[in-house]
Structure 1
């Protein structure tokens, strides 16, 4: 379980949020520039709150600027909006980068149906294929939490729906908390067990959803 209660001064407003996530898909929904990605970055350790607490499975990740677990020790998977695949590495090397167990990676490759891509480079595969590869890489470390920053925004509607269904299926298999950012409310309704509406750094509304399949 993730619990977060943080404050962080940003350029136009102060981020001041409290949220929690069990083994469920939690959506951060709101307009661009409302602080959603900053929340993910604080959880991942890429940004540091000014004050507050972040705990994952009762282990403190952040209690103060002096009590802050380094990024590499947080055991969190992060799928960036642009996927951030290493262009000079093959798909296979991208996925195995930081992986813990070869058999588990082999299982991921089968589930995501990307075995035929393993010797290709990111420039040689489609957007939907990149999304699946990036998701495999994020899960290959066996994270205790998965963060997704608008992972489907660059895909066309058909591929986006396929990838949404893929994530829902994977979440049933690997039952860990997932925090996903989107500004598409239809997507939020489809994916979420819980939706936090974020506006100018604050949670304006929390919705428990029954839309996830």
Structure 2
């Protein structure tokens, strides 16, 4: 279970949140500038809170009285809004980037991801040669290929057309059912939040103003 209790002084307010995530999909929903990406960056180790604790089971990522764990040691998958694929690498090399575990086991994991996401035929292409939906699937495969303990997704579907977006929502649900790790997703689309989230946290100006269980997620 991931536990997040943190404060962070931002330009117009102080972010102050307290929540947990089990092996479920948690959606952070709210207007731009409400602190959603700051929360993801703090969990990933790309940003340092001012106070609090971020803990995954017994592993402390951040604590006031302990040394902050480096980002690369946290075993967190992060899918950025623009996917951040390396343009000079093929799809295959992008997916394998960062994989450092047992090669045989990693090959099995990647093979499973290629099958579930239907991107086997893209392996020798470059990012500029594939569509937005295909880039999203490749980025998901790369994020999961390292077998992370948590997956963070910052508006991963916002650039896609409606049909592709719905398809990718289904893939996210299928991948979560397969992986059974905490997923934290940032979105501005409430229909998407209801479909994907087991729980939804509504944020405004750095505060959680409402918490709901989504009855539509599966």
CA positional deviation for 1:66: 5.5
Aligned to 1:102: 107
- TM-score normalised by L of structure 2: 0.96
Q: Deviations along 1:83-115, whole A, 9 cap, x unmatched?
A: 000000000000000123112111111111100
Q: Deviations along 1:51-109, whole A, 9 cap, x unmatched?
A: 10000122111002852000000000000000000000000000000123112111111
Equivalences for 1:34-53 in 2 at 5 Å?
34-53=34-53
Aligned to 2:2: 2
Check the 8 A contact 1:48/1:65 in 2, yes or no.
no
Contiguous gaps of at least 5 residues in structure 2: none
The number of equivalent residue pairs is 213
Aligned to 2:57: 57
Aligned to 2:206: 201
Aligned to 1:114: 119
Aligned to 1:166: 171
Equivalences for 1:1-213 in 2 at 5 Å?
1-64=1-64, 67-99=67-99, 100=101, 101-213=106-218
Check the 8 A contact 1:3/1:20 in 2, yes or no.
yes
Q: Deviations along 1:107-153, whole A, 9 cap, x unmatched?
A: 11111110000000000000000000000000000000000000000
- Alpha-carbon separation, structure 2, partners of 1:98 and 1:177: 20
Distance verdict in 2 for CA 1:65–1:200, change over 3 Å: farther
Contiguous gaps of at least 5 residues in structure 1: none
Distance verdict in 2 for CA 1:65–1:156, change over 3 Å: farther
Check the 8 A contact 1:50/1:65 in 2, yes or no.
no
Q: What SS class does the counterpart of residue 5 from structure 1 fall into?
A: strand
- Alpha-carbon separation, structure 1, partners of 2:50 and 2:187: 25
- TM-score normalised by L of structure 1: 0.98
Q: Deviations along 1:18-68, whole A, 9 cap, x unmatched?
A: 111000000000001110000000000000000100001221110028520
